[in-house]
Amino acid sequence: MTMKKIAVLTSGGDAPGMNAAIRSVVLAAHHYKLETIGFFSGYNGLIEDNSTKLTPSSVNGIIHRGGTILKSARCPAMLFEEGLKKAVETLQKEKVDALIVIGGDGSFNGLLALNNHWSGQVIGIPGTIDNDIDGTDFTIGFSTAVNTGIEAIDKIRDTAEAFERIFIVELMGKHSGHITFNVGIACAAEQILSFENFSQEDEQEKLNHLAIEIKQAQQNRHASYIIVIAENLWPGGATQLAKQLKQTENIDCTACILGYIQRGGSPVAKDRILATKMGVAAVQELIAGNSNVMVAERNNQLLTVPLSVAIQHVEKVSENLVSAQENILALTAQ
Ligand code: F6P
């Protein structure tokens, strides 16, 4: 084995469990007698040569912490030749043999570009709350974000019940509906508006349909009514939908954007364990000589997926989940 030194960085939106993944990478590398350094603030650390040596003691006591000890950033410079050149210069100067990037699709695009300019090995670990990476059942951070969403909406439900109010709650996910659908189902939301069951052309139809459903629920004396909606779905988001329901149907709704609380907090067990398994697997893949792939988990089996496949956005929210909601809605409407 000629590999001696590896580097790790976290990039894009931070996700709970990124620290657990860093810890796992560092401990596995130490086990295999590899030196590890961590670059700060995503790819910016590569471009600016800003790194730190990582040892088992530097990752002690971080498995339960949200955010990332290496900090994160989005780095548009990686889209350009100049940025890539600087990143390669740093990797060569620091004598890094392989790079592990923990992040989402934007981060993997950066890694693919780097791979075309650098002869070292590159491996991705899927870390994003959005779960919008193909080839893996779950990304690190998704389960925590779903639990955070559930906790928040359970609380909103109390207020909604007490005041007999209608709430429209907007959830994160960039352009995917995984968080919205899972949170919606787990909170027994009366309506789930997501990419899987809505298209822009249906806007007016959806508005009419929502108004009918809400009025029906009010007639049936349902105390509360919660609509969950995916961000970037409805033009103007939850706030605009609430306005439209008032203007066109005289229905009072309270819009609530959950926002960044979904990215923070201590990772749940599932994310800590997934991150730990993936961190070890990433180091082992490097030792096996693999490159240009992401470590993934499918049906409880660890595997690798080409980075170019991981970023395709072909996989959607499970049809079972969508059909479960449709069937439940049909029942609760009666
Ligand atoms: O990718 C994670 C995510 O939180 C998305 O859900 C959201 O659309 C986006 O990042 C927000 O990005 P930023 O931190 O740049 O505002």
Ligand 1 and 129: CB distance under 6 A: yes
Residue 45, CB half-sphere, CA atoms under 13 Å: how many?
A: 22
CA of 260, closest atom in ligand 1: 4
Helical pair 203-219 and 237-249, crossing angle rounded to 10 deg? 70
Contacts of 321 (CB under 8 A, 6+ apart): 181, 182, 185
Quote the pLDDT of residue 63: 98
CA of 15, closest atom in ligand 1: 2
Comparing 65-69, 150-154, 214-218, 277-281, the range with the smallest average pLDDT is 214-218
CA of 174 to the centre of ligand 1 (A): 6
CA of 133 to the centre of ligand 1 (A): 14
Quote the pLDDT of residue 189: 95
Separation of first and last alpha carbons in the chain: 66
Each residue of 10-69: pLDDT tens digit? 999 999 999 999 999 999 999 999 999 999 999 999 999 999 999 999 999 999 999 999
CA of 13 to the centre of ligand 1 (A): 6
Ligand 1 and 263: CB distance under 6 A: yes
Check pLDDT > 80 for residue 329.
no
E strands present in the chain: 5-10, 35-39, 51-54, 98-103, 121-126, 166-171, 191-193, 225-230, 254-257, 293-298, 301-306
How many other C-beta atoms are found inside a 10 Å radius of the C-beta of residue 152? 18
**Residue nearest to ligand 1 atom 7, measured at CA:** 174
**Type of residue found at 59:** V
**Type of residue found at 264:** G
Rg (CA), the chain: 22
CA distance 172 to 153: 14
Counting residues of the chain whose pLDDT is more than 70, the rounded percentage is 98
CA distance 62 to 23: 7
CA of 23 to the centre of ligand 1 (A): 24
* Average pLDDT over all residues of the chain: 95
Of 130, 154, 202, 271, the active-site residue reads: 130
Quote the pLDDT of residue 219: 87
Quote the pLDDT of residue 5: 98
**Residue nearest to ligand 1 atom 5, measured at CA:** 174
DSSP structure string for 182-224:
HHHHHTT-SEEE-TTS--GGGHHHHHHHHHHHHHHHHHTT-S-
Q: Is 132 a catalytic residue?
A: no
Each residue of 258-268: pLDDT tens digit? 999 999 999 99
How many other C-beta atoms are found inside a 10 Å radius of the C-beta of residue 203? 14
Quote the pLDDT of residue 201: 76
**Residue nearest to ligand 1 atom 6, measured at CA:** 173
pTM of the model: 0.97
CA of 231, closest atom in ligand 1: 8
Torsion of Cα atoms, 191 then 192 then 196 then 200, to 10°: 70
CA distance 300 to 284: 18
CA distance 320 to 213: 23
Each residue of 294-313: pLDDT tens digit? 999 999 999 999 999 999 99
Give long-range contacts, CB 8 A cutoff, 24+ apart: 218-222.
Answer: 222/190
Ligand 1 and 173: CB distance under 6 A: yes
**Residue nearest to ligand 1 atom 10, measured at CA:** 13
Mutate to test the pocket of ligand 1, among 182, 263, 311, 313 (most ligand atoms within 8 A of CB): 263
